[in-house]
């Protein structure tokens, strides 16, 4: 008699399963949504500008959060490399002085990253002096940082 009781119990269970089946397609789009997540894990080139006072090479206190942000990013993305490019304003200083300024600015940013634990072999520097003017005003003298993976 137990077998007969088990058979009717299986019959109501069968309609319940098809009722769950329409819910499965609703959960299928969910796996499609995480698909962009792997794309986010591979960082897009990240750009940051560290601004300097005219004629100065020291990283100002108000620029330090950008350095910390870069360090955090590089520590999380251990395969990423960073390219630092120094610039100087053509309207101030001689070409020779501006080349020195742009080089020292780039080196100071590189040093700051290394002091925070970023290996030197992940950092490359370049400096343009006043040969390239990314901004139109002298106030915006800066070092450009591009991180690529």
Burial classification of residue 51, based on how many CB atoms lie within 10 Å of its CB (0-12 exposed, 13-18 middle, 19 or more buried): middle
Q: What is the pTM of this model?
A: 0.66
Say whether both 25 and 80 belong to one domain.
Answer: no
pLDDT at 37: 44
Say whether both 61 and 26 belong to one domain.
Answer: no
Say whether both 66 and 135 belong to one domain.
Answer: yes
Residue 144 binned pLDDT confidence (cut-offs 50, 70, 90): confident
Say whether both 10 and 43 belong to one domain.
Answer: no
Domain count of the fold of the chain? 2
Say whether both 12 and 42 belong to one domain.
Answer: no
Average pLDDT over residues 13-26: 48
Say whether both 26 and 75 belong to one domain.
Answer: no
Whole-angstrom distance, CA of residue 18 vs CA of residue 121: 59
Average pLDDT over residues 29-48: 55
Phi first, then psi, for residue 47 (nearest 5°) are -120, 140
Residue 46 binned pLDDT confidence (cut-offs 50, 70, 90): confident
Say whether both 20 and 45 belong to one domain.
Answer: no
Give 50-96 pLDDT, tens digit per residue. Answer: 988 888 999 999 999 999 999 999 999 999 999 999 988 888 889 99
Say whether both 72 and 139 belong to one domain.
Answer: yes
Nearest by Cα to 132 from 123, 124, 141: 141
pLDDT at 149: 55
pLDDT at 122: 97
What is the domain extent for residue 93? 38-148
Give 113-140 pLDDT, tens digit per residue. Answer: 999 999 999 999 999 988 876 655 655 5
Say whether both 93 and 112 belong to one domain.
Answer: yes
Say whether both 88 and 18 belong to one domain.
Answer: no
Of 67 and 34, more confident: 67
Nearest by Cα to 111 from 45, 59, 60, 47: 59
């Amino acid at each position: 008699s137990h077998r007969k009781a088990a058979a009717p119990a299986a019959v109501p269970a069968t309609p319940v399963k098809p009722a769950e089946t329409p819910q499965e397609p609703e959960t299928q789009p969910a796996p499609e949504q995480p698909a962009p997540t792997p794309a986010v894990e591979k960082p897009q080139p990240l750009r940051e500008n560290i601004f300097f006072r005219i004629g100065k090479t020291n990283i100002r206190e108000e620029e330090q959060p950008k350095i910390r942000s870069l360090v955090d990013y590089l520590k999380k993305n251990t395969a990423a490399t960073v390219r630092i490019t120094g610039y100087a304003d053509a309207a101030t200083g001689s070409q020779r002085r501006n080349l020195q300024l742009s080089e020292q600015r780039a080196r100071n940013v590189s040093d700051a990253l290394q002091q925070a634990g970023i290996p030197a072999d992940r950092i490359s520097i370049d400096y343009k002096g006043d040969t390239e003017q990314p901004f139109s005003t002298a106030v915006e003298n800066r070092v450009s940082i591009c991180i690529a993976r």
